């Protein structure tokens, strides 16, 4: 009976260790993805600013195409 209990405890400890490693790996992925998301949001904000600036330029201020 003691051998079975010891074996079950060992299995539970192995599972716990594996789960901790998996959680740590997933956490690293989340940290990486959060950084990428932040960079993409910043790039999108910059592109929107460029587009807004391009749309607010009046075509009347531009020289005619034959110049």
* 34-51 pLDDT tens trace: 999 999 999 999 999 999
pLDDT band at 57 (very low <50, low <70, confident <90, very high): low
pLDDT band at 66 (very low <50, low <70, confident <90, very high): confident
Task: Round the average pLDDT of the chain to a whole number and report it.
Answer: 91
pLDDT at 24: 98
Angle, CA of 58, 59 and 60, to the nearest 5°: 90
Rounded to whole angstroms, the Cα distance separating 13 from 18 reads: 9
């Amino acid at each position: 009976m003691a051998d079975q209990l010891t074996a079950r405890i060992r299995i539970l400890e192995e599972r716990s260790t594996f789960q901790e490693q998996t959680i740590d790996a997933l956490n690293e992925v989340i940290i990486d993805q959060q950084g990428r998301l932040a960079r993409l949001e910043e790039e999108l904000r910059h592109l929107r600013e460029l587009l807004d600036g391009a749309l607010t330029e009046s075509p009347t201020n531009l020289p005619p195409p034959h110049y």
